[in-house]
Amino acid sequence: MPLLEQGEPIADSWIAIDDSTPLPAGQGVISLARFLADRPNGPVGVRIGAATTPEQLAEVAARAAMVVIEFPGTKDGRGFTLARRLRERYGFSGEIRAAGHILPDNYVFMSRCGFTTAAVPEGTDLRPWKQALTRFPKVYQLSA
């Protein structure tokens, strides 16, 4: 799955780990349930969903090195709110990755909400993603 940063493909140094696999010494991305239960130390990424509570989000911000926010559908904007809360309310400074049902039309808004990377499906035409960042050269609202 290609990973984009500022519209350009980059290498992904994170490894997705399922709940039954031991954590590797490197950078692993685990589920929120495992993160809350195991309380791992070291560089760990966490996959969260749209239903993540503020209490869970605060714990993720305090201990995770990277957060993957899963969008369950293209009409579900709760992931934007989670990214803003991580940046503005909880001071999270690590990578925030958008994944799941995401569209190039929303890419500029993702970056304004605090997302740093986006995981797009294999075989995706990357041109619309890069073009999306320049579609609105002026903005009037504050961003994360």
pLDDT at 79 over 90: yes
The closest of 46, 124, 132, 33 to 90, measured between CA atoms, is: 46
The model scores a pTM over 0.95: no
Q: Are the beta carbons of 133 and 108 closer than 8 angstroms?
A: yes
For the chain, give the percent of residues with pLDDT over 90: 77
Tokens of 8: 């350009």
- Residue 7 phi/psi, 5-degree rounding, is 85, -5
The pLDDT assigned to 135 comes to 79
Q: How many whole angstroms separate alpha carbon 61 and alpha carbon 13?
A: 20
**Using 50, 70 and 90 to split pLDDT, how confident is the model at 40?**
confident
Question: Among 101-105, 114-118, 138-142, which stretch is predicted with the lowest mean pLDDT?
Answer: 138-142
3-132: CATH superfamily: Aldolase class I (3.20.20.70)
Q: Where are the domains of the chain?
A: 3-132
Strands 8-10 and 3-5: antiparallel
Q: H helices within the chain, ranges in order? A: 32-38, 54-63, 78-84, 107-113, 127-132
